[in-house]
Structure 1
Amino acid sequence: MTMMLDNPAWTLVDRLKKSRLLAGLEQSDLADACGVSRNTISNWETGRSEPSASAFVRWARTTGVTLEWLAEGIDYGSEG
């Protein structure tokens, strides 16, 4: 998935949720892919906690976004 959603105002919480929604995944689907509970996904998406490094990588791979975009909101692979 190409992210043409460069918006520096988006927080990590925003990017986590938007990447899941754009991938067409329910929280339970992503939880299964990341090896955590649906409640954990909810906690990450609301900022109550943050994913571990390994879960962060699984999230990016599962939702089809780059780690750079997910972490920083920057898509280094896009032009413009």
Structure 2
Amino acid sequence: MTTSLHNGWVIPEWTLSDRLRKAREVADMTQTEIAEVLELTRRTIGSYESGERAPKRAVVAAWAMATAVPVEWLETGKTPSPDGEGVSVVRHQGLEPRTR
């Protein structure tokens, strides 16, 4: 994670790997649990969260659904627009949201 200065403020800049980890933690899932849901290895999950490897878009979309966060936020760090565009991208791929 890097930071930038804006008008004297320090503003954190979250990377994709940071957002993946945060989404998993907020969903109260371990790396092993999300690996099972996504049908990946725990090592692969760790490599995504450390920034060692970048996941394909399909993995990011599945991660979003598994953790109930908007895919747009995972991809860009920006809050989705009110029209729900970020959610519709994931639903378009035929994935269903995780129920808690």
TM-score by length of 2: 0.67
Query: Structure 1: 5+ residue runs without aligned partners?
Result: 1-6
1:58-73 correspondence to structure 2 within 5 Å:
58-73=62-77
Shift of 1:58: 0.7
1:34-73 correspondence to structure 2 within 5 Å:
34-73=38-77
Distance 1:68 1:8 in 2: 18
Shift of 1:8: 6.1
Cα distance change on mapping 1:73 and 1:8 into 2, 3 Å? farther
Larger Rg, first or second structure (1 or 2): 2
Larger relative contact order, structure 1 or 2 (CA cutoff 8 Å, min sep 6)? 1
Structure 1 letter corresponding to 2:76: E
Structure 1 letter corresponding to 2:70: T
Q: Which runs of 4+ in 1 moved over 4 A?
A: none
TM-score by length of 1: 0.82
How many residue pairs were aligned?
72
In terms of fraction of residues, the more strand-rich structure is 2
Find the residue that maps to 1:51 and give its secondary structure: coil
Cα distance change on mapping 1:74 and 1:8 into 2, 3 Å? farther
Distance 1:60 1:36 in 2: 15
Residue by residue over 1:10-63, the C-alpha shift from the partner in whole angstroms, topping out at 9 and shown as x without a partner, is 111110100000000000110011110000000000011011222111100000
CA contact (8 A) 1:8 1:73 kept: no
